[in-house]
Structure 1
Amino acid sequence: MVPASRSQKARLVDAAWEARLVDAAWEARADEHEAQLRQLRVALQWALLHPAPVDADGVVEHAGWGEIRLVGDPAPLRPLAGEGAPLVAHEAPVELAAALGVPVLHAQQLIADALELAFRLPRLWTLLDEATGFSGPRVWQARQISHETHDLSLDAALHADRLICAVPDRIGLVDARRLAHEARLHADPDRAVAEEDDALAKRGVWLHRDGAAPATTEVVMTLDTPDAQLLDQSVTRIAADLKQLGDTDPLDVRRARAVGVLADPQHALDLMSGRPDAAPSPGGTGSLDLVVHLTPADLTADLTDQRGVASVEGLGAVSTRLLADWLARHRLTDGRISVRAVVDLADTRALDAHDPPPLQREQVLQRDAHCVFPGCRVDSRRCDLDHVVPYLDPAEGGPPGQTTAPNLAPLCRRHHNAKTHGGWTYHRRDGSYAWTSPTGHPYDVTPVSRAPIPTGARRA
């Protein structure tokens, strides 16, 4: 039996540790707030140091939201922040992103939020600047609010700023979206109709994975409300039909399977018509295109061997059992399966033509799975192949053999543009890239290969 005095002493020690941990949590909270606020201040100063230039024709080349073109007329871009905020040079977010080690879209958003707060939500910016992390708005709260006001006119944004900051101590509880909408209606009553049209223009279907096991994919849809209700009714009915046919899975699983049934219209029609022999259409109604990497050791006689591992581009590693299930359910075993020869990643053959042939392009895409710019994670299959040492047409005096795998690297369009026109330079070393920014700062990038991990290493 533990003596009472010893038990009391232990409780006092525990209480002291608890107090220290709470103090440490408070300190971390204050440090986090100051660090996030410092990033906003840096982003604001960086933006002000890089105003958008005006060319001889009066065209302003500014950073914004939209597609970046490498050559030709620039695509129309929406400014980073709303009316009344200064325009920023289009290349400005690139180096800020590299310095912070984040994708360029994150740097764009940081600059946009800083400009929105400083120039269009001045009351909120002042409160944020005076906050300590314990009183006043938090940085993440202020940035979320700025996302709701960037499309307002300057008058409406200032009105929203007054509404949001009316009770400073309750900003964290403010429904910023509702107040922004109220301010929008105050400044422009016709905007309600325009908002409905804008919402309809943003309809779409998107697939998202969380980076974990690729057996499932999240589907996000924005539909017309009547279409969404009809879809819900159809999914509910098919899920009930599946239960009548003997499917014993929970309702949510059957509803998910029902969406898969809708992807095969003939199967869905047969099932909803009550046909007892309803079955998926042979081959489906489309094609399921998967690029799968397997080592010889994974190609066991029985694909259902759970020890086998396949690497699926864009998804990640899956068990060969799951792959076999996909092939069977989607009737791909009766369709076409293309087997590509193993690509030699060390091949250094040189060509004179500017564009690499398919096999050489595949070699580079296998070697470097992403854009090789610092911090960028765009899949290399969506990238341009850039000549690290710029290509010079042999007819203009260029040397032979300029197109080689060691002289090719995948760059997304934005960072290809930064390298071609934005003052960034780089060279390829053995397995890595050395970049130099326009300000002279160095960045090293070690790319990730698509090559599957050797079986022996996986099972060690």
Structure 2
Amino acid sequence: MHSHGGLGGGMGSDGDVDALAQLVADAEGAADVVRAGQVREVRVLAAAGVLAEKQAAGASEKVKAREMALRGIAAELAGVFVATDRTLHRRIDEARDLVDNFPLTTAAWEDGRIVRGHVRVIQEIGCLVPVENRAEFERAAVERCEGETPNRVRDALRMIAERMHPRTFTERHEEAAAGRCVRVQPGADGMSDLIATLPTVIADGIVDRLTRQAREIINARAQADAPGTPDTRADADGASPDADTTIRDGSSFIDDARSIDQVRADVFSDLLLAGSPALDPTGTGDGNGTLGAIRAHVQVAVSALTLMGQDDGPADLAGRSPIDAATARELAGNATSWDRLLTDPVTGTVLECDSYRPTAGMVRLLRARDRHCRFPGCRQPAIRCELDHTIAASDGGATHVCNLANLCKRHHDVKHHTRWRVRQLPGGRLIWTSPTGRIYREDAPPPLVAFTTTDPPGPGAPPF
């Protein structure tokens, strides 16, 4: 090879080119190893799905038996892959679908003709193609993917699938709309993504309305900041504005420097948390029905020092993430009742719980102690869990805090319908044993917020 002039520092020397060629060769080898490992993992997960069906064979309630078997297997594999059993459950289903329904794609991936990104796109779009046309779609899709990056083939594959589908888009959209949903994806620094899966026209309409409302607020803010602005203004019809559009000193527009994205988010939150639904089937006449009276509930642990403003430590939103001190104080100030926790000064374990408005004391204490589902790796908040007798009541287990723990519905079923076993030790510690004998220790989780302690009083000091 010949080096090229004009490249400083020997960047184009034969030695550098040889080193780069070696890097490329190493990269190809690494890619081959990674691909082989990925394919092997998919085949292992698909085999797990087959095993679940085999275990459920002959059961009277085959569907439920398969589900329970799959949950047990997913929980077992979750320990190996260091993931939640829900994640493994989903990955098993995806692997089974790929191996069973997309054999040509799996073979092309195994041969190195396509990469995992291509496989995901083919599987995602190919599920829209009827089974009888699937092989034809796979052949065309694999050919289209070769030599092209996954992000560039998505639209082309979607067009291939549309041409092969015997049903109209309208018919399929009506069915797809039945899957509309809302879900939360926790993020960092006390933030989360609220994701709504909706028909596109509705989603665009929501964003458009939020944008129009946000622009109205920003426009009004600009007028309020302009010199010589009158105390109030009339609307287009000459009518007086309502309280929200009044422009005066001390109004909400003063020192408002929010971006349009921030205003949109704030309006969205206000509408969902404080606004009454326009279509309320429980409403009568012009009044709000019970649907409009529904309010959000969250479970938050916050230290007394933070509540009193003596520190700004974060509070703990159970099962989710930390939240800022100001939000925690606002929640506590607006709450109609709240519980007081007494924690161990060393371990932080909740020892006692009382309330200014007494409720079911035992349930309250267990929610405070557990904070979330006590199955290994699960973060479902305790307020959405069920109380489970560690030793079943039918076997003589006592209905007492030392024999109770919060389990979400999913893991409650796993405990009762699979070979997972659990025993409870003092202090709320659970010892789980998987079907293959793996041991998982679940300590009662101390609140993530800091509860400050002082040194023990010296001799002769008052006890308080």
TM-score bracket, normalised by the shorter chain, equals 0.5 to 0.7
In structure 2, which of residues 105, 115, 131 is the aligned counterpart of residue 154 of structure 1?
Answer: 131
Q: 1:419 aligns with which of 415, 418, 424?
A: 415
Q: Is the 8 A contact 2:180 2:198 kept in 1?
A: yes
Q: TM-score, normalised by structure 2?
A: 0.67
Q: Secondary structure at the match of 1:386?
A: strand
Is 2:177 aligned against 1:200?
yes
Establish whether residue 139 from structure 1 lines up as the match of residue 138 from structure 2: no
1:433 aligned residue: 430
Structure 2 residue 97 is matched with structure 1 residue 116: yes
Q: Does 1:241 align with 2:216?
A: yes
- Which SS does the other structure have where 1:107 is aligned? helix
Which residues of structure 2 form unaligned runs of 5+? 1-7, 222-252, 279-291, 344-348, 353-358, 454-464
Q: How far apart, CA to CA, are the structure 2 residues paired with 1:370 and 1:261?
A: 28
Letter in 2 for 1:33: R
Q: Partners of 2:64 and 2:423 in 1: how far apart?
A: 28
| Letter in structure 2 aligned against 1:434 | I
Counterpart in the other structure of 1:280:
none
Counterpart in the other structure of 1:296 = 304
| Structure 1 spans left out of the alignment, 5+ residues | 1-6, 69-87, 269-283, 349-356
1:102 Cα shift?
2.0
1:213 to 156, 164, 189: 189
Residue 90 of structure 1 deviates from its aligned partner by 6.4
Q: Provide Cα deviations, 1:129-161, integer angstroms capped at 9, x if missing partner.
A: 223xxxx32235424432333464422322221
Q: Which amino acid aligns with 2:315?
A: A
Aligned mates of 2:261, 2:102 — CA distance in 1: 44
Q: Is residue 118–residue 145 contact of structure 2 (8 Å, CA) maintained in 1?
A: no
Aligned residue among 250, 260, 263 for 1:251: 260
Change (3 A) 1:337 1:292: farther
Tell me, in whole angstroms, the C-alpha distance in 2 between the residues paired with 1:390 and 1:454.
35
Task: For 1:159 and 1:209, locate their aligned partners in 2 and report how far apart those are by CA, in whole Å.
Answer: 40
Q: C-alpha distance in 2, partners of 1:340/1:189?
A: 59
Aligned to 2:316: 311
Provide, for residues 35-58 of structure 1, a one-character-per-residue CA deviation record: whole Å limited to 9, x for no partner.
322211211233333435344768
2 CA distance for matches of 1:111 and 1:240? 47
Instruction: Name the SS for the 1:166 alignment partner.
Output: helix
2:59 aligned with 1:46: no
Query: Contact 1:343 / 1:362 at 8 angstroms: preserved in 2?
Result: no
| Letter aligned with residue 220 of structure 1 | I
Q: Secondary structure at the match of 2:439?
A: strand
Name the counterpart of 1:175: 153
CA shift at 1:124, angstroms? Answer: 1.2
Q: Contact 2:319–2:380 at 8 Å: present in 1 too?
A: no
Q: 1:125 aligns with which of 106, 124, 147?
A: 106
Do the aligned partners of residues 156 and 90 (structure 1) sit closer, same or farther apart at CA in structure 2, a change above 3 Å counting? farther
Contact 1:185 1:192 in 2 (8 A): no
Could you report, residue by residue, the CA deviation over 1:365-423 in whole angstroms, capped at 9, with x for unpaired residues? 33333333333333333222222222227xxxx37xx1222322222222222221212
Contact 2:388 2:406 (C-alpha < 8 Å) held by counterparts: yes
Q: Does 1:449 align with 2:445?
A: yes
Alpha carbon RMSD of aligned pairs, Å?
Answer: 4.0
Q: Tell me, what secondary structure is at the counterpart of 1:341? A: strand
Aligned length: 381
Q: Which amino acid aligns with 1:424?
A: W
The share of aligned pairs that are identical, in percent, is: 22
**Structure 1 residue 434: Cα displacement:** 2.9
Matches of 1:56 and 1:452 in 2, distance apart? 44
- Max radius of gyration: which structure? 2
Q: Is the 8 A contact 2:385 2:406 kept in 1?
A: yes
Deviations, residues 13-63 of structure 1 (Å, cap 9, x unaligned): x969x8698777666544433332221121123333343534476855464
